[in-house]
């Protein structure tokens, strides 16, 4: 989009206090570290910093305009620099993105859910990328900051966008939908996650489900029949639906037969209504296969061929910190799944590693799952019960709530001497180095705030 100061003021719903309305703006930036001369700086208020405090740095880097919610900014800005006052800079950023998205008529697929959002987004993008120029969120740009920045990066050459939408409080999905204007939507599943903000699975369904209820009759909603809540929720939708499943033979897109796992590759047959095709997916786990089936359903609903779907899935590679595999000395396989964790993803990753290990020793290293709300201790204990029943070689836990996971494993029959609760990351690194389990598998996982990737780095550095 050709941005001018006047267009930014109009799109953001702001008041131009000073500057030339016709001045051309190069781009929109929220970070002075990456701001380029001629950009409009949008200062955002975070938990620990307020971007308004960095306006001087933006001016030093020759920002051409500043969007501001403070009343006194124009007195501190040179007269030649445009100042646009808005009530809320985060809302203003969203409005800029909404305007920019509206200038592009391309399909936009929204992806949300409790688990598998990022991997599924990447698989959808891999399939559509076989024949189209695809834009997608970078990294974890899936919130009220990241989604607008992703949309603002849309350019004329892009033919389709795949946008991951993450929420943790009420109202966020409605706002993301307003900004993104999706033409297709997928909710991967509904499970306990972000309960501290969303309180219950019913509320999670209502909030994430706003992605699907926003879609019109001619647009596409992709429904996971393996999730009973979503199966029922689908009855409320106006949109055209495509269903998928790894267990239900009535689904339009479904797993057809068993999954074979070997050397980090999951092989399976995929049914696209009456057509069955073989798929090789370079990532471990039944949960990743379900993500692949979901991605295939989105592509199938958008008219992509079976050959394109198979080729796209074969191109997919594990997303960073999501079931990434490393080979250590003595035949040890290290699985880095440290990006985040909730009860479903914890158990799914554990089962995937046990299956892939084919009877070889397995060590689980689990950090606590955060944002679980008042149910946190019970949910950790229940995960521990399921982990203990897997009879793995060793369980190592970190974090206060993870002690409940450790207790649940012991109570389900896991030997006390096989369960260790650590005080810090270094203790775990030292313990794993000392264990020397030949040909063993190590899975490291925990919530983002637990920084479990420090353990992965420690093991890799020592290899």
Rounded mean pLDDT, 405-412:
96
Alpha helices by DSSP H, listed for 82-217, are 89-102, 117-128, 146-152, 172-180, 195-198, 201-208, 210-213
Residue 169: pLDDT over 90: no
Average pLDDT, the chain: 94
Residue 314: pLDDT over 90: yes
pLDDT band with cut points at 50, 70 and 90 for residue 195: low
pLDDT score of 262: 81
Non-local CB neighbours of 97 within 8 Å, separated by 6+ positions:
147, 148, 149, 151, 152, 179
Strand partners, 398: 367, 422
Of 197 and 265, the structure prediction assigns the larger pLDDT to 265
Rounded mean pLDDT, 155-178:
94
Of 403 and 287, the structure prediction assigns the larger pLDDT to 403
Question: What is the rounded CA–CA span in Å between residue 163 and residue 92?
Answer: 20
pLDDT tens, position by position, 262-296: 878 899 999 999 999 999 999 888 889 999 999 99
Question: What is the rounded CA–CA span in Å between residue 454 and residue 238?
Answer: 46
DSSP string, 361-390: -EEEEEEPPPS-GGGHHHHHHHHHHHHHTT
pLDDT score of 318: 83
Domains recognised in the chain with CATH numbers = 3-89 (3.40.1390.10), 104-315 (3.40.1190.10), 324-462 (3.90.190.20)
Strand partners, 125: none
Q: Which two tokens stand for residue 109?
A: 């697929």
DSSP string, 67-103: EE--TTGGGGS-TTSEEEE-S-HHHHHHHHHHHHHHT
Residue 198: pLDDT over 70: no
Q: Output the CA torsion sign for 130, 114, 188, 310.
A: positive
Residue 232: pLDDT over 70: yes
Indicate the pairing of strand 108-112 with strand 160-164: parallel
Please identify which residue in the block is written with the tokens 């996982």. Answer: 445
Question: What is the rounded CA–CA span in Å between residue 408 and residue 413?
Answer: 9
Predicted structure pTM score = 0.85
pLDDT band with cut points at 50, 70 and 90 for residue 192: low
**E-strand spans in 263-328?**
265-272, 275-281, 324-327
What percent of the chain lies above the pLDDT cut of 90? 81
pLDDT tens, position by position, 3-14: 999 999 999 999
Residue 391: pLDDT over 90: no
pLDDT score of 462: 82
Question: What is the rounded CA–CA span in Å between residue 433 and residue 350?
Answer: 21
């Amino acid at each position: 989009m050709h941005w001018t100061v006047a267009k930014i003021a109009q799109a953001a719903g702001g008041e131009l206090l000073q500057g030339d309305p016709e001045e051309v703006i190069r781009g929109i930036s929220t970070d002075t570290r990456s701001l380029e001369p001629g950009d409009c700086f949008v200062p955002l208020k975070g938990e620990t910093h307020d971007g308004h405090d960095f306006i001087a740095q933006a001016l030093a880097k020759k920002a051409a305009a500043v969007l501001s919610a403070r009343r006194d900014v124009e007195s501190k800005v040179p007269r030649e620099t445009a100042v646009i006052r808005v009530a809320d800079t985060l809302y203003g950023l969203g409005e800029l993105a909404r305007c920019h998205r509206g200038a592009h008529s391309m399909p936009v697929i929204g992806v949300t859910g409790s688990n598998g959002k990022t991997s599924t987004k990447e698989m959808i993008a891999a399939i559509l990328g076989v024949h189209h120029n695809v834009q997608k969120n970078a990294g974890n740009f899936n919130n009220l900051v990241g989604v607008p920045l992703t949309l603002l990066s849309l350019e004329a050459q892009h033919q389709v966008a795949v946008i991951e939408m993450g929420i943790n409080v009420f109202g966020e999905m409605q706002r993301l939908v307003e900004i993104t204007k999706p033409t297709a939507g997928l909710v991967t599943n509904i499970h306990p996650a972000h309960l501290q903000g969303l309180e219950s699975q019913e509320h999670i369904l209502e909030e994430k489900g706003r992605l699907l209820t926003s879609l019109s009759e001619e647009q596409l909603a992709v429904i996971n029949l393996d999730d009973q809540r979503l199966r029922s929720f689908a009855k409320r939708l106006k949109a055209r639906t495509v269903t998928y499943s790894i267990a239900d033979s009535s689904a339009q897109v479904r797993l057809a037969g068993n999954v074979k796992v070997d050397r980090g590759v999951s092989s399976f047959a995929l049914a696209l209504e009456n057509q069955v095709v073989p798929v090789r997916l370079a990532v471990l786990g039944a949960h990743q296969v379900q993500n692949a089936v979901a991605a295939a359903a989105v592509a199938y609903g958008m008219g992509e061929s079976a050959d394109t779907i198979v080729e796209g899935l074969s191109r997919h590679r594990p997303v960073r910190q999501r079931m990434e595999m490393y080979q250590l000395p003595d035949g040890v396989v290290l699985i880095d799944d440290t990006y985040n964790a909730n009860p479903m993803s914890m158990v799914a990753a554990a089962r995937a590693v046990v299956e892939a290990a084919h009877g070889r020793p397995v060590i689980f290293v689990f950090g606590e799952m955060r944002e679980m709300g008042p149910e946190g201790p019970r949910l950790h204990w229940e995960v521990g019960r399921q982990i203990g029943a897997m009879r793995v070689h060793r369980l190592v836990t970190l974090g206060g709530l993870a002690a409940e996971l450790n207790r649940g494993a012991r109570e389900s029959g896991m030997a006390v001497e096989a369960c260790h609760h650590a005080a810090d990351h270094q203790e775990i690194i030292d313990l794993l180095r000392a264990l020397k389990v030949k040909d063993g598998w190590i899975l490291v996982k925990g919530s983002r705030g637990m920084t479990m990737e420090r353990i992965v780095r420690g093991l890799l550095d020592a290899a």
